[in-house]
Each structure stands twice: as structure tokens, then as C-alpha cells.
Structure 1
């Protein structure tokens, strides 16, 4: 595609000035939506808690008050989990699509979900782990090793890790690891019973487990947010990126490391939550355009807001029980994604 040059520098400057305030305003609106989603996550559930008690639970906690106890020890860790996991999936999906130059890239593409799932099963069946704190570490190691395997296989050859080779290696690794996981689970009833609660995807975690995953997610988020300029250059094509002095292999490796930290920790913490990392980057590009310096911050705000909203919906539609957020995102994410693809032609990055 050939892009016609602007008529003059003044016209280009004017468009940048008018565009930036709009993008900043949109980001502030997204932050407001995220704040409202957090408030709803703290207030709504099997039993609603009045807004006054929610504020009191955060500022002047009284452990003898049942509502404040629920907010402080159940819903606050769950909300923090949604913030971290949502931001991680949104950023990881954006980086993956930019690095692989593939609009359908998601946490499953590099085998991250499959690797995390396999090592969680190994931890349950062979190591006797029964707490989610153990699952976090097993899932993280599995995601890391799976991503390294995919990148190592795709990097073999003169051309290195091209987008097509990454996709093929990821699909093959995912299928192979999924088969091994299925065989292990089906051969052990006790392992299956524990694994299925992690596999469904939920934000309901304790504060200490969230705290274990938080450092990895924060480090990965910083790396992802700093990669916007490099992803913009890579989007021009590998030859052009090399002409501009970019080390394409190093950029891909750093992007993969950020994705492993983000997706590996998020998947290990809450299970494989689908569609967030796939849909959110496309939604954001419809608002910001293709500049990754804006796409990444938007994704870090929009993704947790949508994830927390889906979690609140899952709590409200099945009171006094609930539908896990992994199921809600799968149900609600497919239709908007199809509409986005048809309307905005998001197959073009």
C-alpha cells in the first residue's frame, strides 16, 4: 500500500496536534470505565454491598463487619487479579500480533497456554501440588519452556523466526502438548478433578497468590509498553526495519520474553482465559490506529476493564452461584470479534 505524502509540514503538524488530544481524552475515558468496573467488582456478587461499606472497607476496615470482610478478603484480591490478568493479556496479545505480524495471534499461538496447562497437570499428578500457589510456578515454568521451544524451532534456518514459521511451530507445539496433557488427565481421575477447576478460568484468587504473580506481570508490562516504537518499525516489514537499523531478531526475542512473562503469569494465575488477548488489540486499533505507542497503553486499560465487566456479569446472571469469567469471555467475545473483523477489516495490521 502506497501512502501519499502530506501536502506540507504545517498540515502534518496540525493533524498530530488535533489527534493527540483526542487520543488522550479517549485514554482518560477508558480509565474512567476501568474505575467503574473496579467499583462494580467490589460491590456486586452473590450479595451486593452498599457503596458506603465498600469505601469503609478500603479506608477504615472493621473485621467484625461481614460486608467489609467480604470486600477486603474476597473481592479486593479478585479485583486486583482482574486488573493484573486483564492488562497482561491485553498487552501480550498486542505485542504478539505486532511481533508475529499476525492479526490472529493470541496466547495460544506460542504454545503458552498449552505449556502452562501441561506443567500444572504434572505438578498436580506427579508432585502432589494441591494449592494454587504451586500452580502459579508450574504454569509459569511451562509457559516459559513452551515459548522457548517454539522460538527455537522457528529460528532454525537461514531466514530465522519468520511470522509463518512462528505460527506453524506454535500450532504444532500446542497440538503436541495438548495431546500429552489430555493423556495425563484422562489417566488419573484425581488429577482431572483438580485440573478442571484451574482450566475453566477464574479470577477468584487469594491476595498472597496474586502477590506472587504481580512482579512477573509488572516487569512484562514495562517491557511491552517500551516496545511500541520497535513494533511500529517492524510493522513496515523486516527488510525496511533492517534498513532503518533495527535488529529484527533481538526485537522478536525481547517481545517474546515480555509475552512469556505476561501470558505465562496470567495463565498460571487464573487459567487460560480466551479472547481477551485476541479481541482487545483489534478493538483498540479501531480507536487509535496502528501506532503501537498508543495501542499498547489503550490495551493495558481496556482489557482489564472488559475482563472485570465479564467477571461481574458472571456473578450476577447466576446468583447465588456464578459463571466463571473464562466461560463468560468465551461466550461474549466471539460475536463482537466477528463484527469487528467485518467492519474494520482488522486482518490488516
Structure 2
């Protein structure tokens, strides 16, 4: 855990230092500790890079913890905000907003996007639970994939009909370039409280992972824990998607890495996932800015380069256990 924290601080410091204009470490330190608005370098750091890098860290942590919770409460190793349709619901609402309410302020757009994420998740759970035998990891994954494909198709149709393809490109690919201090003032408290709530669920989710019968015998109310876990995970994923678009795979990859490093106790998996998720998104954003300057790649592309092979590996390894 201390190593992960050190890695995060180092990644953030280098991400603030490097970009279209490289700045030496002394300048970065002075801009953070003794900000002088008269200096251009300080303005670049304080107004552009600091909120962007902090936003990447906060949102990376949120996506990773959301994925850890989803995998824990569903016992589904492939659970993730993107795979379970949270991103698709948010994107559809954003497309509708661009089409019919084009002058909405950003805060209102974030609120509507979050509402879309919540509604799509509820629909997926209802659809997965409707089959005889109730909700299983396989049914949840299939329902999420089907609903996500359907919602993406609706979003694409709306974008084509209303000529919104360029406007929606950000939401499809995701990115933290637009994150400002005002956005962090809204996001950071919500995500911080939700992560604290996730930490309180560490022990019961660990017991649920051992099996429902074991958890019930140890006094765990499994339905309440699952409901609380999904509420917190949707809150984290929905808030993140509303701010930066549909960045996938962070919540899929990071919890698995955390389990490999620290074991199966969610009291440790959740905080380590938060740190590693923050590191991944900060480094992905740094890569997106520096691979082909002054042009930027979509941060979602950088994450997908890691996430897609990892997903295929997990699907092959864990598929026989999903049903």
C-alpha cells in the first residue's frame, strides 16, 4: 500500500511536469507551494495541469473502486461499469441532452448523465433477475452486454440524425482535458464519501465472496450488502462518467491486479484498487498527451490498449466459472 501511494505521488508529479511544454521539477514545486499568477509557467500548472491530473487520479480511483465492488457483490470477475452498461446509459442521456437541450449548463449535464447511468443499471438488474433461477454472474454479464449494445445503438442513431457525432466523440472516447477546479469541487466530495462508504463494506463483501451460505451463517445480510455495494459502485461510476465520459476497463483490470498483489480481503483490495486506479489513469492521460504532441490521443484508447487484452485473457480463464 505505501508503495502504491508513492507511485501515485510520483506519477502525478511527472504528469504535471511533462506535456506540450515541459517544465522542470523546481518550477512545478514552486507553482504548487508558492503560486505566482504573474508567471506563465505557474498559470499552466495551476489552471490547466493540476486540475487535470488531480481529476484523473480521483476519477481513476472511483472507476477502480466501482469495479472492485461490482466484482465482489456479484462474484463476477468480468464486472465493470462499461461492461454492465453504466457508461452506455450515461452516454445516451448525454446524446438526448445535446439533441434537445443544447444549452444546458455543464453541471445540469453531469446530473442528467448520472441519472442515465443509474437507470440503465437498474434496468440491467431487472432484466437479469427476470429469468428463472434469478440473477447469476453470467446472466448479469449477458444482460449488461445486450443493454449496453442497445443503448450505444440508440446513441449512435441520435448522433447521426442530429449531426452530433463530433460532440459525442468526447463521451465515447473519454478524457480529462476538460476537468477544471469547478468540476472537482462537485466531484471530489461525492467520490470521496462514496469511497469511504465502500471501505465500510470491505469485510461483508469478503465474506460474500466466500459464498452466500457462509456469509449468512456469519451474520451478513447479503441482500442489504449487495444493494449497498451496487448503490455505491453506481454512484462512483455514474459520477465519473458524467465528468469524463465512458472510460472503460479501469474497473475491470485494477481489482484483479490488486487481488494478485494483496489477496482476497476486500478491506485491502478496495483502498489498493483506489490507488492503482488513480495511477493508471494519471499515466494514461500523460501518455495521451505525450505520444504525439501537440495532438492528444483519447485517454480511453490508452486504457483500452491494456484493458482489451486483459479482458480477453479473463474471459478465457474465468468463463467456465461464470454460470
Give me the TM-score of the superposition, normalised by structure 2.
0.92
Distance in 2, Cα, partners of 1:195 & 1:131: 16
Deviation at 1:175, TM superposition (A): 2.4
CA offset digits 1:288-337 (Å, max 9, x no partner)? 11111111111011111111111112211111222121111112333466
CA offset digits 1:11-68 (Å, max 9, x no partner)? xxxxxxxxxxxxxxxx101100000011011111101111111112112211121110
Indicate whether 1:247 and 2:231 are aligned: no
8 Å CA contact 2:173, 2:300 repeated in 1: yes
The answer for the alignment partner of 2:176 in structure 1 is 203
Selected match of 1:60 from 6, 17, 34: 34
**Alpha-carbon distance change, 280 to 72 in structure 1, aligned in 2, over 3 angstroms:** same
Indicate whether 1:333 and 2:300 are aligned: no
Residue pairs, 1:215-230, within 5 angstroms? 215-230=189-204
Residue pairs, 1:62-211, within 5 angstroms? 62-129=36-103, 132-156=106-130, 160-189=134-163, 191-204=164-177, 205-211=179-185
Selected match of 1:314 from 277, 282, 288: 288
Distance in 2, Cα, partners of 1:105 & 1:89: 12
Selected match of 1:48 from 18, 22, 42: 22
8 Å CA contact 1:116, 1:267 repeated in 2: yes
8 Å CA contact 1:283, 1:340 repeated in 2: no
**Alpha-carbon distance change, 53 to 84 in structure 1, aligned in 2, over 3 angstroms:** same
Show structure 1 runs of 5+ residues with no match. 1-26
Judge which range, 137-146 or 332-341, deviates more.
332-341
8 Å CA contact 1:213, 1:265 repeated in 2: yes
Judge which range, 38-47 or 165-174, deviates more.
165-174
8 Å CA contact 1:123, 1:134 repeated in 2: no
Distance in 2, Cα, partners of 1:336 & 1:159: 30
**Alpha-carbon distance change, 142 to 338 in structure 1, aligned in 2, over 3 angstroms:** closer
8 Å CA contact 2:78, 2:314 repeated in 1: no
8 Å CA contact 1:42, 1:71 repeated in 2: yes
User: Bigger radius of gyration, 1 or 2?
Assistant: 1
Indicate whether 1:256 and 2:223 are aligned: no
Distance in 2, Cα, partners of 1:130 & 1:324: 24
8 Å CA contact 1:129, 1:135 repeated in 2: no
CA RMSD of aligned residues (A): 2.2
Show structure 2 runs of 5+ residues with no match. none
Distance in 2, Cα, partners of 1:303 & 1:83: 7
**Alpha-carbon distance change, 346 to 300 in structure 1, aligned in 2, over 3 angstroms:** farther
Selected match of 2:258 from 284, 294, 297: 284
CA offset digits 1:77-102 (Å, max 9, x no partner)? 10111111110011011111111111
Give me the TM-score of the superposition, normalised by structure 1.
0.85
The answer for the alignment partner of 2:186 in structure 1 is 212
Deviation at 1:116, TM superposition (A): 0.5
Q: Secondary structure at the match of 1:102?
A: coil
The answer for the alignment partner of 2:212 in structure 1 is 238
CA offset digits 1:223-259 (Å, max 9, x no partner)? 2121111111111112222232222211111111011
